[in-house]
Amino acid sequence: MTAVENVSGSTGESVLPPALLAELDRLAAVDRLLVALDFDGTVAPIVDDPSESRALPAAHAALLALSAMPGTTVALVSGRAIESLAEVSLLPETVLLVGSHGLEVRLGDLATDEHEGSLNAVELARVDADQLSALLEHVAPLVNAVDGAWIERKPAGFAVHTRQVDDAAAVRLHDAVREAALALHPDLTVRRGLNVLELSLRDATKADGIAALRAATRSDAVLFAGDDVTDEDALAALVAGDVGIKVGGADSVAPHRVPDEASMACVLVALAARRLVSASV
Ligand SMILES: [Mg+2]
């Protein structure tokens, strides 16, 4: 029994909308397929400690199976710093990684000089270090005053996490941090996510990540799925022939929707099973 057959047996694709299954049929048959996914809240359930985050077993097995199939590239596109994404995803190096909302790109053997030169986390950190330190000094007292809130350093910015803060206090903190940071740095890129406020000295989005992946893989079609506000940039960058999926109930431009990470795992298992059949006929 292969990994795909094994996970197919434990999850039902009957929970998926017929229109989405029809799109998976079509995607499974293209020559070069890119499966690009957000990680947290899409293939991995949200947990309090981000370092403990792991893909659901069925999703993980399907991603492994897809990444080993000919003409198929799997990529993760996350707001996490790329090192953090590599640590929690536990996938082989053939799986491409986009971190920091498109600022960092790890394209493996498909890397070009352009990306090697311009999107290097070490370089970014050195250039931005002074400005970042000043910003952090400015907003850290606001964050430290709220129980359960904490700051995550990123290559070109930082994130204020509020997963363990009640909703009203989290909104107040996000507003206060946003105002203080923009007062110091009017050009700062500020993004509000689910229980997180992201501040970046550099303007990149997940659409930039999708563009880099699409160019590097020369894919005929892209599947992208994500749960958060920042995933909307990537969903909006999809073109005819691609498939966009929103995970969860938030507003979205995506034409397809699944309710949670478990049903997203069903999508990946269904796609892997179909792609396996397509490759063998
Ligand atoms: Mg997410």
Note the pLDDT tens digit of each residue in 62-105.
Answer: 999 999 999 999 999 999 989 999 999 999 999 999 998 888 88
70 CA distance to ligand 1 middle (Å): 28
Separation of 225 CA from ligand 1 center, angstroms? 9
Mean pLDDT of all residues in 130-159: 91
In 3-state terms, what secondary structure has residue 94? coil
- Ligand 1 centre distance from Cα of residue 78 (Å): 7
Task: Tell me the CA–centroid distance for residue 27 and ligand 1, in Å.
Answer: 23
Domain limits, CATH 3.30.70, in the chain: 122-200
Measured in angstroms, how far is the CA atom of residue 37 from the centroid of ligand 1? 9
SS3 75: strand
Residue 1 banded pLDDT, cuts 50, 70, 90: very low
For residue 157, the CA-to-ligand 1 centroid distance in Å is 18
Tell me: pLDDT of 222 over 90: yes
Q: Number of helices and strands (H, E) in the chain? A: 10, 11
* Confidence band for 15, pLDDT divided at 50, 70 and 90: confident
- CA 149 – CA 147 distance, rounded (Å): 6
Higher pLDDT, 81 or 112: 81
Higher pLDDT, 274 or 2: 274
Domain 3-103+204-280 has CATH 3.40.50.1000: yes
Asked whether residue 16 carries a pLDDT value surpassing 80, the answer given is: yes
The structure tokens 């995970």 sit at 247
**Would you mind telling me the total number of residues written for the chain in this entry?**
281
CATH 3.40.50.1000 in the chain is located at 3-103+204-280
Tell me how far the alpha carbon of residue 280 lies from the centroid of ligand 1, in angstroms: 33
**Domain over 122-200 is classified CATH 1.20.1510:** no
pLDDT for position 34: 98
CA of 93 to the centre of ligand 1 (A): 21
- CA dist 150 and 169 (Å) reads 13
- Between 179 and 122, the higher pLDDT residue: 179
User: Among residues 154, 153, 152, which one has the least CA distance to residue 162?
Assistant: 152
More confident residue, 8 or 251: 251
* pTM (2 d.p.): 0.82
Here the tokens at position 85 are: 């994404």
Pairing of strands 189-193, 196-200: antiparallel
**Exposure class string for 147-170: b at 16+ Cβ within 10 A, else e:** eebebbebbbbbbbbbbebeeeeb
Angle of the 261-280 helix axis to the 18-28 helix axis, nearest 10: 40
Nearest to 140 by CA among 173, 169, 112: 173
Residue 1 CA to ligand 1 center (angstroms) comes to: 32
